[in-house]
Amino acid sequence: MNVNAGARLDRLPMSAFHRRIMWLIGIGMFFDGFDIYVASTVLGATLRSGFSTLGQNALFVSLTFLGMMLGSLGTGFLGDRFGRRFTYQVNLAIFGLASLGAALAPNMSVLIACRFLMGIGLGAENVVGYSTLTEFVPPRSRGRLQGLMAVFVVSGLPVAGLIGLLVIPWLGWRMMFVLGGIGALGVWYARKSLPESPRWLEAVGRHDDAEAILQRIEKEVAAQRPGVPLAPPAVNKPAPAPSGALGSLFVGAMLQRMIVGCVTLIVINTLLYGFITWLPTFFVHQGLSIARSFGYALVMSLGAPIGSAIGAFTADVWGRKPTIVGASLFAILFGAIYPFVSNPVLLPAVGLLLTIPIYVLVALLFAIYVPELFPTEVRLRASGICNTLGRGATIVTPFVVVALFGQYGIVGVLALMIGLLAIQIVVVAWLGVEPTGQRLEDLQPGGTLREGGVRADARVSPLK
């Protein structure tokens, strides 16, 4: 039985169904971002009150990233085996319950243990949220809606800072975990109405379930356009089904895509956790007061939602590869200028111009490009491995940054970032495919991907 799930989903016009899917996944992604950034406000309060020590705070951060690594890896295998819906509900439950447990922690050791569990849920949400939305949205709008997911995530940065400023002095740091936990469990309940991905159901042979869900979706979309029939779905010769074996990800054209996914996520994670999160520290060491350093960092943090929004609204117009390469070049340009700026007005301005292309890359790489690289059968598994390596880079990044900053100052740190961006440009330009406007099924190795009437998989797959 050929359900033709991908073609039937891709021919649907944008509707309230797609917007509902986007909001339900997006709100969960917002709480993911909120809780990643909440650590900076909570740890200051626990340290000041004597609840924690500097060493315990460092362990708190380290185990967060370890949990996120394990969550990214584990959810890939669970999502491809048990489905997208099951996986995102499990990770939200883990995150929500662990957040409430953290709010009740009697000591720092228990808080650290709860944070490790929260990290597992956070890492899982990042993989399954982006990949699930990818499988529902038609090609012409996929970049925009996927990019908006990144806007949801990075909005957690200013929101966490503002809420922490208002809540912690009055209600204490525990309330931050209460808010995060209640929010996550609320999204968990709301997401019970989300359907399973018909693409995944068809890929694993559950054709009757896929057909039933597709008929409900088509009926809902058609009811919003009375008298206007749905366009007929495309009928393509199916590409050979990719092997579900783990080793199949590391041979031929799939190896090429794994290289692209791993390199880009290592680069963007290093930029975020090797430069952006260190900005207040850099400013203080350069002689600025703490107040001014945080003010400069706040101005530069505005580049997060601005850059993510630019990525979201241009990915479908400019194309994935040109946008990734262009944003990388702009980041290199302003990264080369930044160390030589000392004017108190120009410094945050140039910093903002540096931050914006970095967050364009956040939207393109985390939300849009990497999930598109892989076939439905292995999408979560492959994305999970790429995210795991990207998160793994954050474990060693602080030590490298400290060594470079101590020896060469900010010039040394930015030289590392520029070198990584240059590598990213080469890898994406040489090995990357261009998914813009393409059906997910046509992006599979051996599919019908075309650019200008030429088979793109023949042209861009030198390892195949």
Report the pLDDT value the prediction gives residue 452, as an integer from 0 to 100: 34
Report the pLDDT value the prediction gives residue 294, as an integer from 0 to 100: 58
Considering the domain architecture, whether residues 201 and 317 belong to the same structural domain is answered as no
Q: Is residue 239 part of a domain?
A: no
Q: Is residue 240 part of a domain?
A: no
Q: Is residue 173 part of a domain?
A: yes
Report the pLDDT value the prediction gives residue 451, as an integer from 0 to 100: 41
Considering the domain architecture, whether residues 189 and 274 belong to the same structural domain is answered as no
pTM for this prediction: 0.83
Report the pLDDT value the prediction gives residue 464, as an integer from 0 to 100: 31
The percent helix, strand, coil of the chain (3-state, each to 5) is 80, 0, 20
Q: Is residue 237 part of a domain?
A: no
**In this structure, how many other beta carbons lie within 10 angstroms of the beta carbon of residue 15?**
16
Considering the domain architecture, whether residues 268 and 329 belong to the same structural domain is answered as yes
Which of 179, 195, 228 marks a domain boundary? Answer: 228
DSSP letter for each residue of 104-124: T-SSHHHHHHHHHHHHHHHHH
Number of domains in the chain: 2
Considering the domain architecture, whether residues 72 and 202 belong to the same structural domain is answered as yes
Specify the DSSP class assigned to residue 178: H
Q: What is the mean pLDDT of each run of 10 residues along the chain (464 residues)?
A: 88 92 90 80 83 85 87 89 90 92 95 94 88 92 90 83 82 92 92 91 92 95 85 67 67 92 95 76 61 67 89 92 96 91 83 92 94 90 93 82 86 92 97 90 67 36 33
Considering the domain architecture, whether residues 399 and 462 belong to the same structural domain is answered as yes
- Tell me, what amino acid is at 270? T
Considering the domain architecture, whether residues 307 and 424 belong to the same structural domain is answered as yes
Which of 228, 255, 272 marks a domain boundary? Answer: 228
Contact between 94 and 121 under an 8 Å Cβ cutoff? The reply is yes
Specify the DSSP class assigned to residue 365: I
Residue 69 burial (CB < 10 Å; 0-12/13-18/19+)?
buried
Report the pLDDT value the prediction gives residue 460, as an integer from 0 to 100: 36
Q: Is residue 295 part of a domain?
A: yes
Q: Is residue 199 part of a domain?
A: yes
Domain boundaries, position 71: 1-228
Considering the domain architecture, whether residues 310 and 370 belong to the same structural domain is answered as yes
CB burial of 258-296 (b: ≥16 within 10 Å; e: otherwise) equals: bbbbbbbbbbbbbbbbbbbbbbbebbeeeebeeeebbeb
Considering the domain architecture, whether residues 216 and 324 belong to the same structural domain is answered as no
Report the pLDDT value the prediction gives residue 406, as an integer from 0 to 100: 84
Q: Is residue 265 part of a domain?
A: yes
Considering the domain architecture, whether residues 194 and 55 belong to the same structural domain is answered as yes
Q: Is residue 234 part of a domain?
A: no
Which of 202, 228, 254 marks a domain boundary? Answer: 228
Cα 332 from chain centre: 22
Question: What CATH number does the domain containing 446 carry?
Answer: 1.20.1250.20
Report the pLDDT value the prediction gives residue 136, as an integer from 0 to 100: 94
Considering the domain architecture, whether residues 332 and 196 belong to the same structural domain is answered as no
Quick one: how many helices (H) and strands (E) in the chain? 20, 2
Report the pLDDT value the prediction gives residue 462, as an integer from 0 to 100: 34
Considering the domain architecture, whether residues 353 and 424 belong to the same structural domain is answered as yes
Considering the domain architecture, whether residues 210 and 263 belong to the same structural domain is answered as no
